[in-house]
Structure 1
Amino acid sequence: MLVTLALWFSLLTATVIISLTPGAGAINTMSNSLTVGWRRSFWGVVGQQIALLLHILIVAAGVGVLVANSPVLFNAIRWLGAAYLVYLGVRLIVSRPEPEAAMADTSGTSAWELLRRGFWVNLLNPKAVVFFLAFLPQFIRPDQPLWPQYLVLTATVVGIDMVVMWGFFASAAKPFQRFAGTVRGQRTLNTVFGVLFIVVAGVLLLVH
């Protein structure tokens, strides 16, 4: 058996805990759920999972070692990621609220835009590569074929993260949708989530 039940259960437990830890992905998911609705926020979650797949592929291919051991490359990606989060935050803060129950009209943001934004939010995080570089090998058995094990790990990590993002964080924002339907509510929530994006950007830069 490539991955034992005990090893897989350990991976499952660790993944649930990690996914439930608030970060840029969770903030992006909740913000999308409030602005375009719970159902359409799914596309942002899909974008985040595509980036997650790339992170795992980077680690599996050994490129993650290069990123982790190259301060210039690591810092370049780190600054790009922080800059993108600041951009999202500022855009939210200065955005003009729509009049009266804007949540009823969710056509303003396309599924492609949601997917693309979710993708970049997760991809431009070099710490994710370093994290997976330290995390995934704990659940790999070197004496067994590697790629089948990575497939099991990928399916587990991506599946759990998608359920947590859409099933928990996007759902957690649903009670505030009526509040988001007013001009005042939109302005307040946009400011809150905008500040959160900027705070996460600061953490990305300051925490080494």
Structure 2
Amino acid sequence: MPLETLLLFVPACFALNMAFGPNNLLSITLGARHGLRTPLLAATGRLVAFTLMIAIAALGMGAVLTASELAFTVVKIAGAAYLVWLGIKILRAPATVAVDQPEPAGRGLASFMRQEFLVAIGNPKAILIFTAFFPQFVVAGHYWSSFALLGAIFLALELVAIALYAYAGTRLSGVMRHARGLRWINRISGATMIAFGGLLMAARRPAM
């Protein structure tokens, strides 16, 4: 995979990983209630769900990159539009966190892993990331290896995001109702995704 492709993918991907959503909210909440170790272990459920979704997306998207230039352009526009849409939505979202929400059913680590899995697997935004965002960076002549590399990078960056949100929960447990830090996260993540949406619109199809 060309270095310039990775240099574009990594920061764009990390902006998606850091976007404030239900799974990252769960990491913050668990961090505030149980410390750093519990949300990191519980996130195994999220990573398993994303791994399954990446595999399914890879199996279904092969024909797209081997199709015409028009098909690639349509997918590229869809991916860029998704980034811009999500960025605007995050910028407009209220930065509120409810720390008094009910605990998941059960008290063991397994229940937290299960909740992470169910929240992730049912998130339509994640499905769009793997089916509309990933193909912009896949090298058609090395489809499987490049998709696997992108998936591995995504999962590694997701783990970093999990750790950051969980750590924020441990540090912000006393002021989470105000969520001023989350407001800045929303602004930075939203603006970054909009910017990379524009960059994706200018991206060219990888050489066969």
In structure 1, what is the equivalent of residue 146 of structure 2? 149
CA displacement at 1:30 relative to structure 2: 0.5
AA partner of residue 33 (structure 2): T
- Pick the aligned partner of 1:173 from 166, 169, 181: 169
**Equivalence map 1:102-113=2 (5 Å):** 109-113=107-111
Gaps of 5+ in 1: 66-88, 96-107, 180-184, 193-208
Deviation string 1:81-140 (CA, Å, 9 cap, x unpaired) is xxxxxxxx99x5356xxxxxxxxxxxx732211211111111011232123211010011
What value does the CA root-mean-square deviation take over the aligned residues? 2.8
How much identity, in percent, do the aligned residues show? Answer: 23
- The letter for the 1-side match of 2:170 is K
Where do residues 72-91 of structure 1 align in structure 2 (5 Å cutoff)? Answer: none
Q: 1:94 to 1:55 in 2, by over 3 A?
A: closer
Q: Normalising to structure 1: TM-score of the pair?
A: 0.60
| 1:53 counterpart = 2:51 | yes
1:196 corresponds in structure 2 to: none
Q: How many residues align?
A: 142
Q: Give the AA of the match of 1:173.
A: G
Quick check: 2:32–2:171 contact (8 Å CA) kept in 1?
A: no
Unmatched 5+ residue regions in structure 2?
64-96, 180-208
Give the superposition deviation at 1:173: 1.0
CA deviation map 1:34-64 (0-9, x unaligned): 222111111222211111111211211118x
2:183 maps to which residue?
none
Partner of 1:68: none
2: CA distance between counterparts of 1:94 and 1:13? Answer: 34
SS in structure 1 at match of 2:23: helix
